[in-house]
Amino acid sequence: MSLETVSSNLSFGGVQGVYRHASSATGTDMTFSVYVPPHAPGAKLPVVWYLSGLTCTHANVTEKGEYRRACAELGLIFVAPDTSPRGEGVADDPEGAYDFGLGAGFYVDATQPPFAQHYRMWSYVTEELPALVAEHFPVDMGAQAITGHSMGGHGALTIGLTFPDRFRSISAFAPIVAPGQVPWGRKALPGYLGDDKAAWRRHDAVALIEDGARVKELLVDQGEADGFLAEQLKPSLLVAACADAGIDLTLTMRPGYDHSYYFISTFMEDHLRWHAERLRG
C-alpha cells in the first residue's frame, strides 16, 4: 500500500510524520499522523492508537496532545487517524451540524444511504490502517494499546472490548460510554446504522459489557467541569456496567477540568505511562 508523506519533523529525537493514502475502506484519501520515537535499528516498538473526537482531525492531538516527550522516553509509537472520510462527494449532515457527518464518523461502518458509500471508519481503523502502519513503520503488532477522547473514547472502548486479544490496554478521556442512551449517539447510530438496535449495541461500550464483552481493566479520566458530562458522557453508566461484569475500572474525576485539549494534554503522560507498563509487561 503506497503512502505519501505530507510532513516530517524531528521531535525529541524521533520523527513526527503526517501521511496520506488512498483508502480502499472509505473510497477517499485519508490522512493520519505517526510519531516514531528514537530507537535502535531493526527494533520493533509498541504502538498506542489514539482516536479523536467530534469535529477533530488527526491534527488536534498531533498539535495539542503533548505526547511526544513521553513517547520518546517510553519508546512508544503514537498513531492518530482522522475521524471521518472527507472529500468531494462525501455525504455530510444535511443541516451542517457538528455531531454527524464530516468529522463525526463515530467509528462505525455505515449501512444507511448516503453514508454507507464512504463512512466505513470501523473497517478503516481496525483493519486497513493497522495493516498500512505495520507495513511502513517499526511496529510490534503484538504490543498494541488504544485510547481516545470523547467520540474517540467511545471508539477506543468499543474497539478494545471487541478485540480484547489485540489490545493489551485500553483507556479513554471523557468518553461517550453509552451512545445508545445519549443524544449524540441517538442521532448518529440510527443515522449510520438504521433501526437495527442490535447493531447499535455493538458500538456501545456499556451495551457490549452487558452483552458479555470482557477485558481485565480500563482507565478513564473525566473532567468535572466538562459541559457534556451530565447529558452526553454519563460515566456512571460505565461504572455500573464494569462493577456488574467484574472489570477493574479506574475512573478519575478531575476537578476543574473541561472537555478540551488542556484537559487531555494534562493527563496524557499518565495514560501513556499506564499503557507502557502493560505493553512492556
**Catalytic-labelled residue, pool 58, 118, 149, 259:** 259
150 part of the active site: yes
**Catalytic-labelled residue, pool 150, 204, 271, 275:** 150
Nearby residues of 204 by Cβ (< 8 Å), 6 or more positions away? 158, 178, 179, 180, 181, 185, 189
| Maximal CA-CA distance, the chain | 51
226 part of the active site: yes
The SS3 assignment for 36 reads strand
Strands (E), the chain: 4-11, 14-22, 29-36, 45-51, 77-81, 139-148, 167-173, 217-223, 248-254
**Catalytic-labelled residue, pool 221, 226, 271, 275:** 226
33 part of the active site: no
Sheet with 14-22, edge to edge strand ranges:
4-11, 14-22, 29-36, 77-81, 45-51, 139-148, 167-173, 217-223, 248-254
Q: How crowded is the C-beta side of 158, counted as CA atoms within 13 Å?
A: 30
Active-site amino acid positions: 150, 226, 259
